[in-house]
Structure 1
């Protein structure tokens, strides 16, 4: 009898790849340093500034939810729980870098230079919310899931062809990695060594669909491997770890070493959006409680208090300032001239389609009264 031939085992190869993706962390949930060798080169002033931004953004989120319920904002996607992921990464950028955000990523735009009033106007669907000031290198938040990944590959290639020392960074959720645009974007950027950073904010749910039902991959970071993109899994509730991996990715990109995929494991404490989503229907209270113990603000507060860089008085000052900023910005948004239907049609079309010309005249007459 001939000896039985061996079969090649591709499963073993997959398991070996998956085992490489361990979560990178600098601060544990108690605010203690667990990876001293990778501490980023941030001054005390930088650390305090990052905390101020996170606290300010948490207040903005709370106020935005309230304004939405009052009917004073339109579309809104809550951000509480993702401050470290969003702001730790943005803090690692330079002004010349381009941000291509998803719809939950308005905080990054604000800290990149977008006036808060315009962020509110964007939420209301007002065209002035998309008229970014000169020098704010960003695109408007993308509503189509994953589309910003393809756009980022193009923007990054443009940066490379112009010889700029800059990067293009984009964000999507775990659900976005199930879209074709995700794979096309990272593959294109990899092939041309474009200076891009592809962030996956894995908050465990694509609206109500848990991550494990979207993909059989044990991590989302490993999806970059197929396209030859260096990829990392990081604790997205740890602002220092987020900053570190983003800064390193930017350094590699501007040095000509191409893109990076970063999976940031985090959690959104609120609903997917304020448009009727009820997270209690698909998440348990125990799950919520477990993640609340990892709150990025609580973790970073403990770290800074241990260094005598933060206290309750300072936090209250930032919170009050945030409330005043929101109050002023929403007033400015309220006083902005209302957008008309005819303005929308004029902005959308250089030449009005024949089927809309009649409707245009009807609305023009209504608006003249």
Structure 2
């Protein structure tokens, strides 16, 4: 839509196409480092799952620019509300890598952020984290802390009531919240055009009287600059912003999914050649004389070592306590849970007898 043109700073050929000032070499290298880091993590996680060393895993390869650019635009005291696919953003924001692996092994410890990091547990139910993000934003506004919140979600979440309720509350109370949609074209198996009759998600902002911006989600600089401006606006008391980042997920919805049943996977093969976010930034760096082969090789080795070390820590972690399945459901134990716990523990005794 003409009302919501695509914001882009670096095109697919790695050329600067914005009138704004270019970023420094240090900033661009930071973007590249984080994108390569989370891509390496993602590939390792898929391998571990296929080897039976990790549980069902939600892939994000192809969405690195959207997650890195947005996370780097935040300040350390801000709040991050991720979905099950935004561990790239949380890792960039400061989440522990070994514990992120633990999360994908179903471990309670994987939901606990490092001290001082305001990262909400990943929301598996679709869109439920959006009202939470608004509520926290409203709280920080009343406290006068200057902190903001960002809610990550996909295009499918915009078909849920929580999305609309969150936007309405955020708009009415001018919550310092960023609604960050990664539109990868599919809500699991349902393509965008079968989900809604709207041409864009950004246009949904009109109904709530807030700014809506559509960006190239594979352009890390465009994501970073747009989110940074939205954050500044939120901190100034001007309310929320809806951002639609157009991107693509190369692989399946999760490792338990077969995308060939509903999507032509040759599109992913073509996109790897034309719109890949990591390749695009590397092309830009080469065009600008910011690339160094030795630096890139050293970076790759450093990241690979970090990921392998995180895997070792994850696999060396003490065995989980079976009581965790039951003891953290309610603050005060209730009889149905206690009954289930007793039956399961008795079953384990029989198995181990």
Q: Same fold (TM over 0.5)?
A: yes
Alignment of 1:39-58 (within 5 A): 39=21, 42-58=23-39
Partner of 2:16: 33
Partner of 2:172: 191
Q: Which has the larger radius of gyration?
A: 1
- Quote the Cα distance in structure 1 between the aligned partners of 2:162 and 2:339: 37
- Quote the Cα distance in structure 1 between the aligned partners of 2:133 and 2:253: 24
- Quote the Cα distance in structure 2 between the aligned partners of 1:230 and 1:152: 18
- Quote the Cα distance in structure 2 between the aligned partners of 1:67 and 1:195: 38
Number of residue pairs the alignment of both structures matches: 349
Instruction: Give 1:72 shift.
Output: 1.4
Match among 263, 275, 293 for residue 283 of structure 1? 263
Instruction: Give 1:364 shift.
Output: 4.3
- Quote the Cα distance in structure 2 between the aligned partners of 1:333 and 1:133: 15
Q: Could you tell me whether the CA contact under 8 Å between 2:15 and 2:287 is conserved in 1?
A: no
Please state if 1:247 is matched with 2:228.
yes
Instruction: Give 1:60 shift.
Output: 0.9
Instruction: Give 1:89 shift.
Output: 0.9
- Quote the Cα distance in structure 1 between the aligned partners of 2:293 and 2:254: 30
Partner of 2:337: 356
Query: Residues 79-108 of structure 1, C-alpha deviation per residue, up to 9 Å, x if partnerless?
Result: 111011110111111101100001100111
Partner of 1:10: none
- Quote the Cα distance in structure 1 between the aligned partners of 2:240 and 2:126: 20
Partner of 1:13: none
Please state if 1:256 is matched with 2:237.
yes
Please, which runs of 5 or more residues in structure 2 have no aligned partner?
none
Partner of 2:216: 235
Partner of 2:43: 62
The two structures, once aligned, show a CA RMSD in angstroms of 1.7
Please, which runs of 5 or more residues in structure 1 have no aligned partner?
1-17
Identify if the C-alpha distance between structure 1 residues 192 and 359 changes in structure 2 by more than 3 Å, giving closer, same or farther. Answer: closer
Partner of 1:328: 309
Q: Could you tell me whether the CA contact under 8 Å between 1:55 and 1:315 is conserved in 2?
A: no
Query: Residues 258-288 of structure 1, C-alpha deviation per residue, up to 9 Å, x if partnerless?
Result: 000000000001111112x122222224522
Q: Could you tell me whether the CA contact under 8 Å between 1:156 and 1:167 is conserved in 2?
A: yes
Task: Give SS of 2:30's match.
Answer: helix
Instruction: Give 1:55 shift.
Output: 1.0
Identify if the C-alpha distance between structure 1 residues 279 and 157 changes in structure 2 by more than 3 Å, giving closer, same or farther. Answer: same
The TM-score, its normalising length taken from structure 1, stands at 0.90
Query: Residues 20-41 of structure 1, C-alpha deviation per residue, up to 9 Å, x if partnerless?
Result: 1111111110000111x2346x
The TM-score, its normalising length taken from structure 2, stands at 0.94
Please state if 1:124 is matched with 2:123.
no
